Chain A
Amino acid sequence: MELLSNQILAGIATGAIYACMALALVMIYQAIGQLNFAQGEMAMFSTFMAWQMIHWGAPYWAAFVLTLMLSFAGGVVIERLLFRPLAKAPILTNLAGFLALFAIINSVAGLIWDFTIKPFPSPFGSSPFLGSRLVSTHQAGMIGVILLVLAVLFVFLRFTRMGLAMRAAAAQPESARLVGIDTNRMIALGWGMAAAVGAVAGMLIAPVVFLDPNMMGGVLIYGFAAAVLGGLSSPPGAVVGGFLVGIIENLVGTYVSGVGNELKLPIALALIVIVLVVKPSGLFGRQEIKRV
């Protein structure tokens, strides 16, 4: 029983990271209808920036906030330079654009910071949380920070004018434009927020998986699985999907013999394929209807 609750708690902790990645993916999907295959690399680059600032002597939280702002700006710049011109291009061209971005960021990070594995500090330490052997303080802090980020995003999207405009632009771009919403600005905003949310995920997972240019590969796949499970058209769904996927990953790894750590990625593959085939709109997503 203790093993079970332990695994579920650990699942919620990693699930929080997947939720962040999934949310970032969904934000871009809502804005431009494409899957950002470079999301993981963007988060990795943000994490390296935070590491560099801490290395130069900045306090953790200052580096954290500064990284979020830089990532936001970076997301907006990428949208303006790269994907705005591709907005009318076929999916295939967009796909190639994302893969190019993936290759460039990965390679540039390696050039600047080297491909060796680096430790990343945690502001919460790694002692047991409240004397419990189940969760470490880092895991608890990770869940706390991410819940805070999610709450802020929720309030922004639900209760502010700009949040409403963003949701309108995602749901009905044409009508939103007609009532005077600058949809292009909303798309850029979506990219910036996605980059910042991804950066949160990167900085919080880095103490666990360590820092190197390829650190986000597995996390990205699980982020995709979470986004698909929750429904690509539903931000709250992505969050729920993230936590579910984290728990599923841990439980399958523990209780299904022969799976363990070495089959973690095939589990994500199986999840993605099963959800897409059985219920392509995910748990909370809208069904897409095409006009003939």
Chain B
Amino acid sequence: MMVDASRKAISDAPPSDADAARTMRLGTGTSLVILLLLLVAPLLVKNFIVFQLTTVLIYGIAILALNILTGGSGQFSLGQSAFYALGAYTSAILIEHAGVNYALTLPISGIVCFAAGFLFGLPALRLSGVYLALATFALAVATPQLLKLGALEPWTGGVQGLVVDKPDAPFGLPVSQDAWLYYFTLAIAVAIYIASVNLLSSRSGRAMMAIRDNEIAASAMGINVALYKTLTFGVSAAITGIAGGLGAIAVQFVAPDSFTIQLAIALFLGMVVGGVGWLPGSLVGAAFIVFIPNVAESISKGLSGAVFGVLLLVVIFLVPDGARQVAQACRSVIGRRKG
């Protein structure tokens, strides 16, 4: 399964590169250029596009979370929409029913989702490969029905969902609500990205990757496989939950039917397009899943699925490592020019 991909990634890396996490991120210079572009982007475009860019960042965080799970520890999940939904509902309920400040709801969503992910990770421990994909697929399919449960209706608003107020920029800053939300999301996304890169290059990250590459060898080296697998599930769910909370604030609305299997599939596809295990690819994947359906839908209604699917097939047949492969190709071309 993942072994092939990772072995390839390892053999592609220059032999002197002892730091395995190096292949998972960009160099500092490139990162700063991208950050600069992200910082000035909202100044150049209309408010609606700023909102879309915010969505890209939010999905980028969710895909990053999936990337940690799949690229880091080699576990699959088609059920990320469940944790996204849990995070979104936690934030929405805290804001609307408890009057908590929106920024403070995000860590709470993260903690709630960490617990949920850790618990789901326990049975998932015994599953691998297609079985884990199946269990998480079922989780994603069941999520909307669980959210519609009559017993939870006083909090969740049932089928109707909940409306969330859009926050204003604080301290009277002269920026629009959309722009403020964009920078707020960007700050969180950058923090999560840096934390994830550090996590993956830490002792824990190496343990995860050892499990991904060979579970039996990893446990022989004294890695607590069960603990690290469930922890990774928990961390991934927590980050997805934060993305979900941000999503609820940005869209100003949560309802069960926003969190169907389609969302889980989109996140999974975003990861594949961006390149599994390559964290910067998450942003590329997110842009793919936000903009491609829009473009397709503007051509013909109902076409988005087909365009999505065909492009995905193109990716897996022609560039199986996604955006990572494209980036590597570019780098080698530039390298040849210089040399």
**Could you say which of A89, A90, A276 contacts B135, with CB atoms under 8 Å apart?**
A276
Taking a contact as CB atoms under 8 Å apart, the answer to whether B265 and A92 are in contact is no
Taking a contact as CB atoms under 8 Å apart, the answer to whether A269 and B309 are in contact is no
Question: Which of A133-141, A234-242, A257-265 is the contact stretch?
Answer: A257-265
A271 to chain B, nearest CB (A): 9
Subset of 8 A-B contacts with CB under 8 Å: A35-B134, A99-B312, A100-B312, A107-B304, A107-B307, A108-B305, A110-B305, A263-B146
Which residues of A have CB within 8 Å of B76? Answer: 91-92, 95
Report the 4 A-B pairs with minimum CB-CB distance, sorted nearest first: A107-B305, A104-B309, A103-B309, A107-B306
Contact with B along A238-268 (1 / 0, CB 8 A): 0000000000000000000010001111101
Which residues of B have CB within 8 Å of A110? Answer: 302, 305
Residue B107 at the chain A interface, CB threshold 8 Å:
no
> In the bound complex, what is the Cα–Cα distance between A93 and B314 (angstroms)?
12
Report the contact-size class of chain A (Cβ under 8 Å from the partner).
Answer: 35 or more
Question: Which of B16-24, B98-106, B147-155, B179-187 is the contact stretch?
Answer: B147-155
> In the bound complex, what is the Cα–Cα distance between A34 and B129 (angstroms)?
9
Which residues of B have CB within 8 Å of A269? Answer: 138-139, 141-142
A213 to chain B, nearest CB (A): 9
Residue B269 at the chain A interface, CB threshold 8 Å:
yes
> In the bound complex, what is the Cα–Cα distance between A110 and B303 (angstroms)?
8
Residue B11 at the chain A interface, CB threshold 8 Å:
no
Within 8 A of B (CB), among A266-292: 266, 268-269, 272-273, 276-277, 280, 292
Which residues of B have CB within 8 Å of A101? Answer: 309
A95 to chain B, nearest CB (A): 6
Question: Which of B1-9, B41-49, B163-171 is the contact stretch?
Answer: B1-9
Taking a contact as CB atoms under 8 Å apart, the answer to whether A104 and B310 are in contact is yes
> In the bound complex, what is the Cα–Cα distance between A269 and B135 (angstroms)?
7
Residue B137 at the chain A interface, CB threshold 8 Å:
yes
User: With A96-B268, A107-B302, A111-B302 known to touch, is A91 a contact of B129 (CB < 8 Å)?
Assistant: yes
Taking a contact as CB atoms under 8 Å apart, the answer to whether B138 and A262 are in contact is no
Residue B282 at the chain A interface, CB threshold 8 Å:
no
Residues on A lying within 8 angstroms of B by beta carbon are 33-35, 37, 82, 85-86, 89-93, 95-97, 99-104, 106-108, 110-111, 115, 217-218, 221, 224-225, 228, 258, 262-266, 268-269, 272-273, 276-277, 280, 292
Residue B70 at the chain A interface, CB threshold 8 Å:
yes
Contact with A along B120-152 (1 / 0, CB 8 A): 000100110111011101110110011011110
Beyond A91-B1, A269-B141, 19 extra complex contacts between A and B, CB < 8 Å: A35-B134, A82-B313, A92-B76, A93-B316, A96-B272, A97-B313, A99-B265, A102-B265, A107-B302, A107-B304, A111-B303, A258-B151, A262-B150, A265-B142, A268-B142, A269-B138, A269-B139, A276-B131, A280-B126
In this complex, which of A86, A90, A96 has the most chain B Cβ atoms within 10 angstroms of its Cβ?
Answer: A96
User: With A90-B1, A268-B138, A277-B123 known to touch, is A102 a contact of B309 (CB < 8 Å)?
Assistant: yes
> In the bound complex, what is the Cα–Cα distance between A101 and B134 (angstroms)?
17
B8 to chain A, nearest CB (A): 10
B189 to chain A, nearest CB (A): 24
Query: Across the two chains, which residue of chain A brings its CB closest to B322?
Result: A96
Main secondary structure, interface of B, reads helix
Residue B157 at the chain A interface, CB threshold 8 Å:
no
User: With A103-B265, A265-B142 known to touch, is A111 a contact of B300 (CB < 8 Å)?
Assistant: yes
Taking a contact as CB atoms under 8 Å apart, the answer to whether B137 and A37 are in contact is yes
> In the bound complex, what is the Cα–Cα distance between A258 and B153 (angstroms)?
14
Which residues of A have CB within 8 Å of B78? Answer: 95
Taking a contact as CB atoms under 8 Å apart, the answer to whether A91 and B130 are in contact is yes
Residue B276 at the chain A interface, CB threshold 8 Å:
yes
**Could you say which of B3, B141, B265 contacts A265, with CB atoms under 8 Å apart?**
B141
Taking a contact as CB atoms under 8 Å apart, the answer to whether A85 and B134 are in contact is no
> In the bound complex, what is the Cα–Cα distance between A108 and B149 (angstroms)?
32
> In the bound complex, what is the Cα–Cα distance between A99 and B305 (angstroms)?
10
Residue B227 at the chain A interface, CB threshold 8 Å:
no
Taking a contact as CB atoms under 8 Å apart, the answer to whether A217 and B310 are in contact is no
Within 8 A of A (CB), among B230-267: 261, 265
> In the bound complex, what is the Cα–Cα distance between A106 and B261 (angstroms)?
13
> In the bound complex, what is the Cα–Cα distance between A82 and B216 (angstroms)?
33
User: With A92-B5, A263-B145 known to touch, is A276 a contact of B134 (CB < 8 Å)?
Assistant: yes
Which residues of B have CB within 8 Å of A108? Answer: 305-306
